Chains A and B, each alone.
Chain A
Amino acid sequence: MNTPNTLKYSKSHEWVKELDGGVVEIGLTDYAQDALGSLVFVNLPEEGDPVTAGETFADVESVKAVSDVYSPVTGEVLEINEDLLDHPEYINEDPYGAWFVRVGNVTEYDELLDAEGYEALCASEE
């Protein structure tokens, strides 16, 4: 399992990357993509949509199930990764490159874990 040290993680298996200017990038972790299996569909919010920490902002569909993706932050969607809409497999192939959204005007963070804490969480879920 790949868990980069440079990222923060939510308990619901999203990663958060701090970009310049208070903008954060959000995606699904390697652990999550592996547990979900091959993804076949992604539903993203629209630019300008508000997101709320702990609430769902996107969903992903694998051949097993549809799963909600939760926002680790409260803020506003500045940009979505439109490539994912046509290529959900990017999430399986490169989970930390396949960002879902970039969020700005961040006012609140959910409780986030560092890489070590997140690995421990995954181990406890095994």
Chain B
Amino acid sequence: MKLIFERSRSGRGLGLLPPCDVPRCELPENARRTGRPALPEIGEIDLGRHYTELAKQTHGVNDGFYPLGSCTMKYNPRINEEMAALPGFTGIHPLQEEQTAQGCLEVLYRTQKALGEITGMDAVSLQPAAGAHGEYTGLLLIRAYHQARGDLARTKIIVPDSAHGTNPASAVMAGFKVVNVPSDEHGFVDLDGLRAAMGPDVAGLMLTNPNTVGLFDPNIRTITDIIHEAGGLCYYDGANLNAVMGIARPGDMGFDCVHVNLHKTFSTPHGGGGPGSGPVGCKEFLAPFLPGPVAEKKGDTYAFAVPAQSFGRVRTFCGNFLVVVRALTYILSLGKEGIPAAAQGAVLNANYLMKKLADGGYEMAYPGICMHEFVMTLEELKKETGVSALDVAKRLLDFGIHPPTMYFPLIVHEALMVEPTETESRETLDEAAEVFLKILDEAKNDPENLHTAPHRTPIGRPDEVTAARTPVLRWKAE
């Protein structure tokens, strides 16, 4: 399809922008453009068609099943949007006087409290703008803690080999050296390997639990004890919190700090720029280091406060505020009964779909009960038929299903990682299972049809290699 710049015709325009109703303010001469910006000029009808065409080329939760493992692509309830669109929230300015923004401050405060309760943490900062940003912030907390004690020898962060790639990346960004520890044959942290990595240079551990293969590590208390005995801190990556929210709390598992993804677990928009939000929570002893401002309640009024030894901001103002409004709406809609019920539904749905696929002939990387997601290995299927995880993923598109996460975690070969979430009905899961089994049948009888899939999408197989080797990121006028 054409870019909006290619649709542009000189002199066209539309009336969507209101007339200026504030006094004009001129920029200083040296900050002014010398020419007009090359913005597209387009009529309203063509603009509408352009974005409709773009929308038709995407797949969102409103289009169909979206079992993208570890991403928790759950339905985003409409009431979230209704609350976020309230004029008291949209018309606010972050530099307004606190006494004129009490409602917004209350939203921040109550969300901090609710997330603290759900994760078992004493203090929460809503600043981080996404999951990896939350990881980074959590690691800065760990660093600030060790530095404040004058313990500068702690330079290593322990990361299991099944971790999300963002974990080692965040640790390196925060100035740490990453030490990988292996998983055992069940997909859990290898305790001997973990003990062997301990020493006075260990700053902390980053762990996702349930882990990346969809299993709850039964040794979690032993793991966090091992780290604490070595003088390190434990960081909980909340990527998979959806499996346990309202049932098990990272704070009770021995973790000292966490991040949660509002765009996964708490039903705020995910993908396509979100924007995301990755609040960080911590135990009391880390609270003085949190990035500020955080919302506080004094008597009946709310105010911003910067924690005493804060290492500084990680984002402007107080994070993605309207995303926080959506998350609080979700938490209050579900309540203390609904939150654990959602987690239970997520686990039930994953096990239901896993059983159907396992019975139908798909090989599970770790057979048995899973948590909110499961990982299949198509290694044997590829050997037998030549059909890869990529082929199966591409073929799913033909049936209006977003592919699962592919080739991750790296410890499973030809991996497909499936996370249905609690918001899918039994009928949707049954239909998806049928499609998966039909594709398995095709793999055995008509593998060529899978190698060339998808057949019904606007774009078949984009050339990912050329796109990565020689990316074209900018359109330029002729």
CB within 8 Å of B: which residues of A?
A: 38, 40-41, 61, 63-67, 88-89, 126
The tally of residues in B whose CB lies under 8 Å from a CB in A reads 10
Contact of B469 among A64, A67, A88 (CB under 8 A): A88
Taking the nearest CB of chain B, how far is it from the CB of A51, in angstroms? 15
Taking the nearest CB of chain B, how far is it from the CB of A46, in angstroms? 17
Tell me the chain B residues, 434-478 only, with Cβ under 8 Å from chain A.
464-465, 468-469
Q: Are A41 and B468 in contact (CB under 8 A)?
A: yes
Please, which residues of chain B bring their CB within 8 A of the CB of A65?
A: 165, 407-408, 410
Please, which residues of chain B bring their CB within 8 A of the CB of A41?
A: 468
Q: Are A66 and B165 in contact (CB under 8 A)?
A: yes
Given contacts A41-B468, A126-B383, 8 further A-B contacts (CB under 8 A): A38-B465, A40-B468, A40-B469, A63-B465, A64-B406, A65-B165, A66-B165, A67-B410
Please, which residues of chain B bring their CB within 8 A of the CB of A88?
A: 469
Please, which residues of chain B bring their CB within 8 A of the CB of A38?
A: 465
Please, which residues of chain A bring their CB within 8 A of the CB of B465?
A: 38, 40, 63
Tell me the chain B residues, 397-430 only, with Cβ under 8 Å from chain A.
406-408, 410
C-alpha spacing A18/B410, complex, angstroms: 31
A selection of 20 A-B contacts at a CB cut-off of 8 Å is A38-B465, A40-B465, A40-B468, A40-B469, A41-B468, A61-B468, A63-B464, A63-B465, A63-B468, A64-B406, A64-B407, A65-B165, A65-B407, A65-B408, A65-B410, A66-B165, A67-B410, A88-B469, A89-B469, A126-B383
Please, which residues of chain B bring their CB within 8 A of the CB of A66?
A: 165
C-alpha spacing A99/B410, complex, angstroms: 25
Please, which residues of chain A bring their CB within 8 A of the CB of B406?
A: 64
CB within 8 Å of A: which residues of B?
A: 165, 383, 406-408, 410, 464-465, 468-469
C-alpha spacing A40/B165, complex, angstroms: 17
C-alpha spacing A40/B464, complex, angstroms: 9
Please, which residues of chain B bring their CB within 8 A of the CB of A61?
A: 468
Most buried by B among A40, A66, A88: A40
- Taking CB as reference atom, which chain B residue is nearest A68? B180
C-alpha spacing A66/B165, complex, angstroms: 8
Most buried by A among B383, B407, B469: B469
C-alpha spacing A66/B172, complex, angstroms: 15
Please, which residues of chain A bring their CB within 8 A of the CB of B410?
A: 65, 67
C-alpha spacing A88/B470, complex, angstroms: 12
Taking the nearest CB of chain A, how far is it from the CB of B472, in angstroms? 14
Most buried by A among B406, B408, B464: B464
Taking the nearest CB of chain B, how far is it from the CB of A75, in angstroms? 20
The 10 closest A-B pairs by CB, nearest first: A40-B468, A38-B465, A63-B464, A64-B407, A40-B469, A65-B410, A63-B465, A63-B468, A40-B465, A65-B407
Please, which residues of chain A bring their CB within 8 A of the CB of B408?
A: 65
Please, which residues of chain A bring their CB within 8 A of the CB of B469?
A: 40, 88-89
Please, which residues of chain A bring their CB within 8 A of the CB of B383?
A: 126
- Taking CB as reference atom, which chain B residue is nearest A89? B469
C-alpha spacing A41/B465, complex, angstroms: 10
Taking the nearest CB of chain B, how far is it from the CB of A102, in angstroms? 25
Taking the nearest CB of chain A, how far is it from the CB of B57, in angstroms? 20
C-alpha spacing A62/B465, complex, angstroms: 8
Please, which residues of chain B bring their CB within 8 A of the CB of A126?
A: 383
C-alpha spacing A115/B74, complex, angstroms: 50
C-alpha spacing A126/B413, complex, angstroms: 9
C-alpha spacing A66/B407, complex, angstroms: 11
- Taking CB as reference atom, which chain B residue is nearest A63? B464
- Taking CB as reference atom, which chain A residue is nearest B469? A40
C-alpha spacing A67/B408, complex, angstroms: 12
- Taking CB as reference atom, which chain A residue is nearest B407? A64
C-alpha spacing A66/B169, complex, angstroms: 11
Please, which residues of chain A bring their CB within 8 A of the CB of B165?
A: 65-66
Please, which residues of chain A bring their CB within 8 A of the CB of B468?
A: 40-41, 61, 63
Please, which residues of chain A bring their CB within 8 A of the CB of B464?
A: 63
- Taking CB as reference atom, which chain A residue is nearest B468? A40
C-alpha spacing A88/B383, complex, angstroms: 27
Please, which residues of chain B bring their CB within 8 A of the CB of A89?
A: 469
